[in-house]
Chain A
Amino acid sequence: MIYYLSLAVAMFLAVITQHFTGQVPWLGGHVYLLPVVFFFAAAALPLPSVFVFAVLAGLMWDSITVHADESGKFEAAFGWSIALYGALGAVMNGLRAQYLRGRWELHCLLTGLLTATIVLIEFLVITFRREPFAFDWPHDVWQRIGGSGLAAALIAIPAFSVFTWLGRRLGVIKFDTMRPD
């Protein structure tokens, strides 16, 4: 229970920290920390817990990003991020067996890829909603999507190490290195 609470607190602190990291000029995108913590939970914990964290992450994210436009209409439904996190978390959870064998290199890469997917879907949502829908996206868009993904993949390496260490210390994560591939 302490471990689960620690991960929830880490998610909250990740949202706070994101307010200060801003856009990294040489990277071209914002640093997204919340997805890193969430995707760790999705890689290491059973599916029911992943959904609980998806609800938490989605609620936190929509609380700070979903607002009404000038006409009073909401750009996206409040809670849509929960569905997004739930679906992408389930994808990451599919590799849990490999994580439990003590191998999580692929999970760090996937964290970057799935974070970039979140940024891409966010852009698609606002583009559909705001109009006009443009098919020729400037280089800037791809740089922000790729930059945020790359940052997440790099941050995932130390973050996964720390959370794995904590999980093993608390006895929540038990590696089964004898499990066959």
Chain B
Amino acid sequence: MTTRRQNVLSVAVFLLVLLGILLLSPKNRERVQNGFLSLMSPFLKKGSEWDRSVGKLRHQLKTLQQLEVENDALQVENDKLKALNQALQGIEAENLRLKAAFGYKDQTPFSLVPARIIGRSESNWWSSVKIDRGTADGVQKDMSALTPDGLVGKVIAASDHISTILLISDENCGVAAMLRNPSGQLQHGIIRVVRGDRLSNMQQPRMTMSFLPKHLKVAPGWKIFTSGLGRVFPENVIVGEVVEIKPRELETEVSIQPAVNLAALTDVFIVTGLKGAAEK
């Protein structure tokens, strides 16, 4: 067979295979995706351990100049801390006791599954992370992810031992949310969708809340909380804080800084339900 014939035949076979894959049913498509996630799982877990070790090592390696600057800063800090130490001794003991008594997991009304981030966003246009928990741990698609600081995102794919979380800074992750002024007063009747920006990423997360009434006297510092109306995210979890007001002709738009530092995210909790819901 000539090379030309082989090439024509290969193009034909390629197009047939492509068509077959494009026509996969949603169930089979999910099966392929979960299969690939499962295949990646051990490698991502091992890679994540190495990544943490390298990160620690890199953090420890500093130039002489950096060490000198750091030393000066530490000396000033040390003097300050000595003064503070006396005053804080009593508070520290109380703080430790409270921390032990009311660990976040116990304090929250949600049933939580703790998870570790084992992979970060792999492309330019999608903001997601991989966690080391999957369906075997009770994690399901559309469950929400949070930290003690606030909302992180939602599960968009879950295989046996690994899941993908779409971050709140992604344009595709809309969160039904409400506003609260600095004195904690809820703006009743105003529930809007908080959405990430198309160019948002983990390093520079950008989110907006649009279509706010023109008369609303919103100001930087107002907090955004989940409304629970979307039925994906639980109610009253902090999403972020208003940082900029953009008045439009007919409405007001606000820019939001996420409450969670997405760039430094290492661990999350997956909300699997409400405590006591199973007994009910």
Contact = CB atoms under 8 A, between A and B. Distances in A.
Contact of B7 (A17, A19, A22, A47): A47
Interface residues of B, number: 48
B123 A19 contact: no
B71 interface: no
Interface stretch (B92-100, B108-116, B199-207): B199-207
B120 A55 contact: no
Contact of B10 (A19, A29, A48): A48
Nearest to B157: A67
Nearest to A25: B203
Contacts, number: 127
Interface string B190-225: 000000001101110000000000000000000000
A77 B34 CA distance: 17
B72 interface: no
Given A48-B7, A64-B36, A75 B122 contact: no
B37 A63 contact: yes
Given A67-B157, A69-B172, A59 B21 contact: yes
Contacts of B122: 15, 18-19, 30, 64-65
Interface stretch (A103-111, A138-146, A161-169): A138-146
Contacts of A86: 14, 18
B32 A59 contact: yes
B126 A59 contact: no
B199 A141 contact: yes
Given A17-B47, A48-B7, A63-B33, A22 B18 contact: no
B14 A51 contact: yes
Contacts of A144: 124
Q: Which 4 A-B pairs have the closest CB atoms?
A: A19-B119, A48-B10, A79-B21, A63-B36
26 contacts: A16-B43, A16-B44, A19-B44, A19-B47, A19-B119, A22-B202, A23-B201, A29-B124, A30-B122, A46-B3, A48-B7, A51-B10, A54-B14, A55-B21, A59-B21, A63-B33, A63-B37, A64-B40, A65-B122, A67-B156, A67-B164, A67-B166, A78-B21, A126-B125, A138-B199, A140-B199
Interface of B: 3, 6-7, 9-11, 13-14, 17-18, 21-22, 24, 29, 32-33, 36-37, 39-40, 43-44, 47-48, 51, 118-126, 130, 156-157, 164, 166, 171-174, 198-199, 201-203
